[in-house]
Chains A and B, each alone.
Chain A
Amino acid sequence: MRSSLVLGLGLLLATHVAAKAELVVGAVIPLSGASATQGEDQRRGMEIALEEINAAGGVLGKPVKLIVEDSGGRVPSALDAAKKLVTVDSVSAVIGEYSSGITIPIGQYLVQSGKIHLNIGSSSNRIRDLGATSFSVLGLEAVSSKFAAKDVVAQGWKKIVIVGPNNAYGQGMASGVKEELEKLGATVMSTLLYTEGQTTYRRELQQAAQMKPDAFVYSAYGKDAALMNREAFELGINKTPWYAIYLSMCTADSQRETVVGQYGMDLNFVGPNGKAYEEAYRKKYGMSFKTSFSGYGYDALKLLAAAAGKAGSAEPAKLREALIELGKGYEGATGTITFDAGRQRSEQPYLTLKMGQNGYEPR
């Protein structure tokens, strides 16, 4: 009698858990608008992760469900999407967005409604203040700037011009790298923040060249990066060393001969886990990484699935505990993920690379 009661209770509990256990994850990313290239790449990373997770049987005995929403690069649309995910689809966690200006309001909303928020694209230091259930899977500005500055100074370059897009990413990158470079005794002669979407960057490049720096440190993406690399090549400005922050992102769309010889750093995508991810990406999309952002999408979803498996639940509060526990050293495609006390990724391994005739070469 007693044993059957226990059994009955157990069954009831089991079915109850099973009914509620499905892990539903939302994503709000820019699939249209000015940052569509990065948003699409974020989606690719998540898609590969989703296929891998579900091919291995899913989590909690069920396939993971991923609902991707387009933010359109607009705050109102992004908020609409986040609210829809939370209040209609009852997701446990939301991954996103790309630009800090959108990540911050949706992150605030998610924290306030008690859901998990995973930042995979914004590096503004203000992400740190979002609150108890917000995590950053990519290192905020401080982490990458420090690494890049050290690497640049190690090449013996002392007079630097920094080039970046005039958006939240570029402004944060430029000020972070400048600060770190100056700490190491280098001089930043100028910071050029270009306006995205122009038909030419010759004016910017020629202004930069007039200063005759030892090296340009730059970060750019999409058609702007390709155009700038091409025009630097045509103007002969590429004779001065160029150092790319996220080399694969900066050169993905460029013609090879315009970027051969560039120095750079990038995420550790040739580590034991990263290598497999790079191959999966190449196989699925027939190209090497378009931007550096897909890896974070991949890691975020994998991390959430691992956390749900560990917690045995898709409840946000339990997921949070599990994420903090996993965040003591999770091996992701973008390297080891370690969260600090503020749930931000505190360190991140990088590669030092150089662009050769046949692609990226380790230095």
Chain B
Amino acid sequence: MFDFILHVAIIAALNGLLALSLNLQLGYAGLANFGQIALFGAGAYGAALAFSWGFGPFAGLLLGLALVSLLALVFARLGRSLGADYWGIATLSIAEILRTVATNETWLTGGAQGIGGLPQLFGFDLPGTLALAAAALLATYLVLRGVTQSKFGLAVRLLREEPQLAASLGYDLAGLRRRVMLISGVPAGLCGFLYAHYVTFVGPDQLFASETFFIWAMVVIGGLANHSGAVLGAVALQILSASIPFAKDALGLTSEYVAAARLTLTGGGLLLFLLLRPQGLLPERIGSVRA
């Protein structure tokens, strides 16, 4: 049981990284990224490719961060000319194209069978892995809090609320978007890297568009534009999702109901929050900028 709790905690911490990353884009900058899972994928495939070429985890981390930065720049470049809805769909399309490439280029990515056998960073020591994931989460939290409390953070919120005003005040909107994407790419890529080494396997099935939806649910339930909220949302959803099997055992549900329960929990939970508490568990604090 203790191992199970550790595992749930590790996944929750890793999801927290993804949620923090999306929260900076969506919550603070108003960038509706529907291809978030691709940023994760860049980190995960960076780790996997480096491994398959015989390099160590450190090289994998660097490769993952390089790939994720490249992708973040592509997303930001698209954002220069597109309205929000269109940009969301464009990011979704790019994520799907990348998943198609990962599925088809067997010589590079192992195709649909993926790349397996990556080493765990701490052997199979769960507490060590958890400590690493938690440290990454804490560091990301502190850095992003610093970022959003700075002058830059203020500009980013202005980009969300009044882009025309921001432009008229002389802010470089394209530059702001680019920096937001680059900064938020790092935790997502880091998450991909840690995840790849934790489950020891990377494959295209981890990159379905529906995964992006789970990250969205975390951020929206936790609270847009609130770092603690994003982390709380990630933790809450992981705990709920991990407890579905127990609910099934306790209630004696059949398989169709279990599958439906999973859908109802995420879909219904999200919808309830959107309708009844759109600010999320922890709302954005107005005027929380020091600079």
The answer on direct contact between A and B (beta carbons under 8 Å) is yes
Contacts of A75 in B (CB 8 A): 199, 201, 203, 205-206
- Using known A-B contacts A31-B255, A72-B262, determine if residue A80 contacts B8 with beta carbons closer than 8 Å: yes
Report B127 CB to chain A, min CB distance, Å: 14
For A69, what are the chain B residues with a Cβ–Cβ distance below 8 Å? 245, 248
Q: Is the CB of B112 within 8 A of A166?
A: yes
If the complex has contacts A43-B255, A101-B205, are A80 and B263 also in contact, measured as CB distance less than 8 A? no
* Size bracket of the B interface: 35 or more
Which of chain A's residues have a CB closer than 8 A to the CB of B244? 70
Q: Beyond A75-B206, A105-B200, is A36–B259 a contact (Cβ under 8 Å)?
A: yes
- Between B203, B255, B256, B260, the greatest number of chain A beta carbons within 10 A of the residue's beta carbon is seen for B255
B7 CB within 8 Å of chain A: yes
Q: Nearest-CB distance from B133 to chain A (Å)? A: 13
Against A, the Cβ 8 Å flags (1 = close, 0 = not) of B187-204 are 000000000000111011
Which one of A9-17, A167-175, A209-217, A278-286 contacts B? A167-175
Query: A76 touches which one: B11, B249, B259 (CB < 8 A)?
Result: B11
Assess whether B278 is interfacial by the CB under 8 Å rule: no
Interface of B is mostly: helix
Contact A81 B245 (CB under 8 A): yes
Residue of A nearest to B112 (CB): A168
Assembled-state Cα–Cα distance A74/B106 (Å): 21
B2 proximal to A (CB < 8 A): yes
B124 to A: closest C-beta gap in Å: 5
Q: Is the CB of B124 within 8 A of A112?
A: yes
B242 touches A84 (CB 8 A): yes
Asked if A204 is at the interface (CB within 8 A of a chain B CB), the reply is no
Distance A113 CA – B103 CA, assembled complex (angstroms)? 30
Can you list the 5 inter-chain pairs with the closest CB atoms, starting with the nearest? A32-B259, A101-B203, A168-B112, A87-B4, A31-B255
- Contacts A31-B255, A77-B241 given; does A101 touch B246 at CB 8 Å: no
Give bound CA distance, A350 to B41, whole Å: 40
Query: In the complex, which residues of chain A have a beta carbon less than 8 angstroms from the beta carbon of B206?
Result: 74-75, 101
What residues of A have a CB within 8 angstroms of the CB of B260 in the complex?
32
Query: Can you show 7 pairs from A to B with CB atoms below 8 A apart?
Result: A77-B262, A80-B242, A83-B7, A126-B117, A166-B112, A168-B203, A170-B112
- In the assembly, what is the distance between CA of A79 and CA of B248, in Å? 17
Interface mask (A258-286 → B, CB under 8 Å = 1, otherwise 0): 00000000000000000000000000000
Select which of A70, A77, A126 is within 8 A of B113 by beta carbon: A126
Contacts of A80 in B (CB 8 A): 7-8, 11, 241-242, 245
Q: Measured between C-beta atoms, what is the minimum distance from B125 to chain A in Å?
A: 11
The answer to whether A101 touches B113 (Cβ under 8 A) is yes
User: Given contacts A70-B262, A101-B113, A195-B100, could you give 17 more A-B pairs where the C-beta distance is less than 8 Å?
Assistant: A32-B262, A33-B259, A70-B244, A70-B245, A72-B262, A75-B206, A79-B199, A80-B8, A80-B241, A84-B242, A84-B246, A99-B205, A100-B114, A105-B200, A108-B200, A166-B103, A168-B114
* Cα A79 to Cα B15 with chains together (Å): 14
Known contacts A70-B262, A101-B114, A126-B116; is A83 also within 8 Å of B3 by CB? yes
Query: Within 8 Å of chain B (Cβ to Cβ): is A60?
Result: no
Q: Of A72, A84, A168, which contacts B4 at CB under 8 A?
A: A84
Decide if A177 is an interface residue (CB 8 Å cutoff).
no
Which of B2, B106, B116 has the most A CB atoms < 10 Å from its CB?
A: B116
A74 to B87, CA, bound (A): 27
Asked whether B104 is an interface residue with its Cβ less than 8 Å from the other chain, the reply is: yes
CA–CA, A166 and B103, complex, Å: 8
Asked if A40 is at the interface (CB within 8 A of a chain B CB), the reply is: yes
Decide if A166 touches B241 in the complex (CB within 8 Å). no
Partner among B103, B112, B117 whose Cβ is within 8 Å of the Cβ of A129: B117
A68 at the interface (CB under 8 A from B): yes
**B245 with A172: CB separation less than 8 A:** no
Residues in chain B within 8 A of chain A (CB atoms) = 1-4, 7-8, 11, 100, 103-104, 106, 111-114, 116-117, 124, 199-201, 203-206, 208, 211, 241-242, 244-246, 248-249, 255-256, 258-260, 262-263
CA A167 – CA B99 in complex, angstroms?
12
Given contacts A69-B245, A79-B199, A87-B2, whether A167 and B112 have CB atoms under 8 Å apart is yes
Query: Closest Cβ of chain B: how far from A79's Cβ, in Å?
Result: 6
Whether the Cβ atoms of A104 and B245 lie closer than 8 Å is no
A172 close to B113 (CB less than 8 A): yes
Contacts of A77 in B (CB 8 A): 241, 262
Judged by a CB distance under 8 angstroms, whether A254 is at the interface is no
Kindly report which residue of chain B lies nearest to residue A35, judged by CB atoms: B205
Q: Chain B residues near A73 (CB, 8 Å)?
A: 205
Across the interface, which residues of B come within 8 angstroms of A23, CB to CB? Answer: none
Confirm or deny: A124 has a beta carbon within 8 angstroms of a beta carbon on chain B: yes
B260 to chain A, nearest CB (A): 8
Asked if A72 and B111 sit within 8 Å, CB to CB, the answer is no
Q: Is A102 engaged at the interface, CB distance under 8 Å to the other chain?
A: yes
Are A88 and B1 within 8 A (Cβ)? yes
Does A67 touch B at the CB level, under 8 Å? yes
Chain A residues whose C-beta falls within 8 Å of the C-beta of B112 in the assembled complex:
100-101, 166-168, 170-171
Contacts of A40 in B (CB 8 A): 255
CB proximity of B95 to chain A, nearest CB, Å = 15
Given contacts A32-B263, A83-B7, contact A171 B241 (CB under 8 A): no
Residues of B within 8 A of A67 (CB): 249
Known: A32-B263, A76-B11, A83-B3. A171 touches B113 (CB 8 A): yes
The listed residue (B106, B116, B205, B255) touching A171 by CB distance below 8 A is B106
Chain B residues lying within 8 Å of A84, measured Cβ to Cβ, are 4, 242, 245-246
Bound-complex Cα distance A80 to B12 (A): 11
Q: Are B113 and A100 in contact (CB under 8 A)?
A: yes
With A80-B245, A81-B245 in contact, do A166 and B104 touch (Cβ < 8 Å)? yes
Proximity bits, A9-39, B CB within 8 Å = 1, else 0:
0000000000000000000000111001000
Q: Are the C-beta atoms of A88 and B4 separated by less than 8 Å? A: yes
CB proximity of B213 to chain A, nearest CB, Å: 12
Q: Tell me, rounded to whole Å, the shortest Cβ–Cβ distance linking A221 to chain B.
A: 15
Decide: B201 and A70 in contact? CB cutoff 8 A. no
